[in-house]
Amino acid sequence: MKVGLRMQPRRKIGQMLMFPQYAIRKFLVRVTFYGAIAVHTALTGGCVFMLPTDPYSPVPRSQSTSLIPQVTEYRETAAQPVSMHGPLTIATAIQTALANNPEIAASQWDVAAAEAKLDAVRAARWPAVSVEGGLQHFLDDQRLIPARYNGEPGIFDRDLYRADLVAKMPLFTGGRITGEIHAAELLRLAEEKRLVRSREELIFNVSSTFYAMLSQREVIRSLEFSTAAMEEHRRQVSDLLAAQKAARVDLLRTEVRLADLRQGLERERNTLAVLKRLLVNLMGVDDETEQIDIEGELLVESARQQGTEDMMQTALLRRGDYLSAQARLEAQASRVDAAKAGYWPTLSLLASYGGREAGSGESEDAGVVGLGASVPLFEGGRTSAQVRQERAVLAASQERLRKLKLQIRQEVETAALEIRSSEQRISAVSRAVEQAKESMRIERMKYDLGSGSLIDVLDAQSALLQSETNYARVLADYHIAMAKLKLATGEDSL
């Protein structure tokens, strides 16, 4: 048996005619309830009905451009098709690598993810508005809305519908939201600095590989020249042997030396092919390595170095990895503050407005506004444990920053020492090359005149080849050391 006020059909119709807002309110309640369900289903139905995201499907370039924020320290280079048929300079190789290297692209997406996380954390400051609805069936009749005064007749039914517009806004959280926002801002900055460091490391890797290829090219040229000279010398020894002016052992020694030069030439060519493959990978280009034709010279330029302390200060101000570690350390300090907010109460503003409808068709509207507070009394030590955890992570971050600072000093000093050593080696080896050329000329002339031995010629030729090889490689070491110093100090090589 129903308990409460029951309207007769004629009375209900008359009331609806006299008060059209009754029908309108009832219609709005139904539309709001069922419309919210329909909209939510349409927006989230992909989780059930559509295919899941393919993890191997590439993100379109247009979408990535809109998602990746611009970093002031990073000069983004648009990806362009690369031609491997023309001469490749070091500047072109670096620009191509910056545009196509997968690690740089991944670092850009890390920045985009940090930016999105910051937006998500900032959203906690604003009101959260949602539409809520429900259908409840009771075993006993329930009142549609609470009584507004004593003795007020009400509407009772076992089936009750509700649809509400609910708003909730945080007023006081003990600094938790502020701390999380500050931490997210610093983490975004850390990702930007890490992107800058990835760019610096890529420039160094491309530069060092390019210089090694230039050096290897000179080594191959020296081997080709020595091989050609040894083949000519073998023909001369053969002619002398035919004229009975040379011993057969001279010809055998020449052929052994020629075979050694040929296998050395193949070994160095293979090394150059490996370096080409490495350069192609760094450039992010999927192409045939045989098509690469590099262009450049290993020239020595007098560079005036700063003092170690000056270079160290420059490195601490420029290096992306150090600045990233600093930002992460400061972000962790903000996380400690956010964890401390768990000791404080939270205060929120709550508001809702909506309609209620009984299964019999009667409806009413309902609204409420108020404040909600939550005071932590006992949580089993969860907050204090979280604070200790964040402080421990902060201490670990401080030690890692100190370790990185020591590492930076080591890299700066090592690079400076390598530059000075390379300069001295260049001076010594360049004189050795000239002396080896003169010695080779003298020994060949002596052998042609019959006053020298073949062993002396072979030794002189071997010394010349070794000197030229050393000179080419010490030039590469010098340029790599210069690039390493720029990497250690965070200087842009472009």
pLDDT per position as a tens digit, 474-494: 999 999 999 999 999 998 655
The answer on pLDDT for 180 being more than 60 is yes
| Alpha-carbon span 30 to 364, nearest angstrom | 12
CATH superfamily of 56-126+175-343+382-494: Outer membrane efflux proteins (OEP) (1.20.1600.10)
Q: With bands split at pLDDT 50, 70 and 90, how would you rate the model's confidence at 386?
A: very high
Q: With bands split at pLDDT 50, 70 and 90, how would you rate the model's confidence at 167?
A: very high
133 backbone dihedrals φ, ψ, rounded to 5°: -150, 165
pTM value is 0.78
| Alpha-carbon span 119 to 111, nearest angstrom | 13
Please work out, in degrees rounded to the nearest 5, the angle formed at the alpha carbon of residue 389 by the alpha carbons of 385 and 394: 145
The answer on pLDDT for 29 being more than 70 is no
155 touches 144 (CB < 8 A): yes
- Reported as a single tens digit per residue, the pLDDT across 450-459 is 777 778 888 8
Question: β-strand 346-358 against 156-172: which pairing, if any?
Answer: antiparallel
| Alpha-carbon span 376 to 370, nearest angstrom | 20
| Alpha-carbon span 283 to 94, nearest angstrom | 7
Output 361 or 395, whichever has higher pLDDT: 395
- 290 — alpha (psi -120 to 50), left (phi > 0) or beta? alpha
Q: What is the pLDDT of residue 77?
A: 45
Please name the amino acid found at residue 90: I
| Gyration radius of the chain over CA positions | 40
Strand partners, 461: none
3-state DSSP call for residue 287? coil
Mean pLDDT confidence for 301-330? 87
355 touches 389 (CB < 8 A): no
| Alpha-carbon span 247 to 438, nearest angstrom | 26
| Alpha-carbon span 294 to 88, nearest angstrom | 5
108 touches 78 (CB < 8 A): no
Overall size of the chain counted in residues: 494
- Reported as a single tens digit per residue, the pLDDT across 101-128 is 999 999 999 999 999 999 999 999 999 9
Q: What is the pLDDT of residue 69?
A: 47
Contacts (Cβ under 8 Å, ≥6 apart) of 211 = 298, 476, 479, 480, 483
Q: With bands split at pLDDT 50, 70 and 90, how would you rate the model's confidence at 290?
A: low
Output 247 or 97, whichever has higher pLDDT: 97
111 touches 68 (CB < 8 A): yes
The answer on pLDDT for 71 being more than 80 is no
The answer on pLDDT for 469 being more than 80 is yes
**What average pLDDT is seen over the chain?**
82
Please work out, in degrees rounded to the nearest 5, the angle formed at the alpha carbon of residue 325 by the alpha carbons of 319 and 331: 135
| Alpha-carbon span 412 to 488, nearest angstrom | 5
| Residue ranges of domains in the chain | 56-126+175-343+382-494
